[in-house]
Amino acid sequence: MQELDSPMQKLELARSFRLDAIELLLKTSEGSFAVWSAPPGSKSELAAARRLLQAYDLLGSLAVLAPRGADKALLKELRPPVVPTSGAAGASAPPLPDEPWLPSRPRRVEEIPLFSPANIQAWRKTVADADARALGERRGIRNRAPQHPAPRATINYLQLIGEGRNRGPVLPATLLAFFGDHAKVITIVSRKA
């Protein structure tokens, strides 16, 4: 079952228990990605996309503050182990090795395969589409079939109304046009050549 904790809650959990926050965020993001890729329903897909975008934003914030290696790779902020205070003053822990976020030594969050620009764009589209549907439903606009114009009516026959008088260069004619079961009065004005 997919965990419903937000990425921020995962980060707080990691900090509280001195866990590796980056690793925890990446693992839970992989779980969210699995749900997003094959969702049991549209709400699950939307929730997973939102969690993935939150994780991406949070990892982006952590990347800004993260230490960097000589090759500009993102490094984990390792906490020194707790050294017992028995005995000699000034005892210090050995220096910590550089540990990258992943073995591939990404320099940006977008270099992590899960957070590729294509995936991020797809997650944003999922969220935007759901938001647009929700907004449409609030406004009373459902997914309607497009409105097609009414088919053109064929004139069955025309009937001249009144007298057709020649009034100089312009000849107005008032006609009654019959379209199936209804009629419409139209006036035709033409110029004599």
Q: For 103-128, what is each residue's pLDDT tens digit?
A: 999 999 999 999 999 999 999 999 99
Instruction: Give exposure, 148-159, as e/b (b: 16+ Cβ within 10 Å).
Output: eeeeeeeeeeee
CA atoms within 13 A on the CB side of 74: 21
Q: For 108, which DSSP code?
A: S
Mean pLDDT of the chain: 76
Phi/psi for 19 (5° steps) reads -95, 170
CB neighbour class for 190 (10 Å; exposed up to 12, middle 13-18, buried from 19): exposed
Does the predicted model carry a pTM greater than 0.85?
Answer: no
CA-to-CA separations, 80 to 10, 83, 93, 103, in angstroms, rounded: 22, 8, 7, 21
Across 73-86, average pLDDT: 70
pLDDT band at residue 3 using 50, 70 and 90 as cut-offs: low
